[in-house]
């Protein structure tokens, strides 16, 4: 397994890892007060979250839980979920999917960390009218 790139996605710093064909894996650093995506689910993938540092609020099927370092949760397909860092410190966590494939979302929407204003660009884009639109 090898770290292949770092990027900002929806206000979160991610490091993608090159894995075998059975699963995808990224490390995420979620800055304070940064929410995850709107509640969503994956039709075919099982997703897991493992908290390395900090406390992370995770919603699964409408129920919120504060997850601290060392906690693990596995989300079967069709589990509605989202998350937010409600603390004043970065939260570092690992997430992955089986089967592999969903990590391509992070390739498509990631803004390389060395790009000026990458974090800000990762949460908004300028549309054809010149106004900012949320992703």
pLDDT computed for residue 124 by the predictor: 66
Is 76 a residue whose pLDDT tops 80?
yes
pLDDT in tens, 27-38: 999 999 999 999
HEC secondary structure over 36-94: CCCCECCCCCEEEEEEEECEEEEEECCEEEEEECCCEEEECCCCCEEEECCCCCCEEEE
Tell me which of 82 and 104 has the higher pLDDT: 82
Q: Smallest Cα–Cα separation from 30: which of 2, 9, 50, 4?
A: 9
Find the mean pLDDT for residues 102-111: 78
Q: Tokens 């939260």 — which residue? A: 91
Map out the domains of the chain as residue ranges.
2-123
Do the beta carbons of residue 17 and residue 26 sit within 8 Å? yes
% residues pLDDT > 70 (the chain): 88
H or E segment to which residue 14 belongs: strand 12-18
Confidence of residue 125 (pLDDT cuts 50, 70, 90): low
Which pTM value belongs to this model?
Answer: 0.82
pLDDT of res. 128: 46
**DSSP helix/strand/coil, 26:** strand
Under a CB-based contact definition with an 8 Å cutoff, are residues 15 and 5 in contact?
yes
Residue with tokens 């699963």: 23
- pLDDT, the chain, mean: 86
Class of 2-123 in CATH: mainly beta
């Amino acid at each position: 397994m090898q770290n292949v790139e770092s990027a900002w996605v929806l206000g979160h710093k991610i490091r993608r890892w090159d894995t075998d064909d059975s699963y995808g894996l990224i490390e995420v650093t979620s800055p304070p007060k940064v929410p995850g995506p709107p509640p969503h689910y994956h039709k075919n993938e099982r997703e897991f979250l493992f908290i390395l540092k900090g406390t992370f609020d995770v919603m699964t099927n409408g129920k919120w839980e504060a997850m601290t370092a060392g906690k693990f949760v596995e989300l079967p397909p069709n589990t509605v979920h989202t998350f937010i860092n409600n603390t004043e410190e970065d939260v570092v966590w690992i997430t992955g999917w089986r089967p592999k494939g969903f990590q391509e979302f992070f390739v498509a929407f990631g803004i390389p960390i060395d790009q000026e204003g990458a974090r800000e660009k990762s949460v908004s884009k300028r549309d054809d009218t010149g106004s900012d639109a949320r992703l």
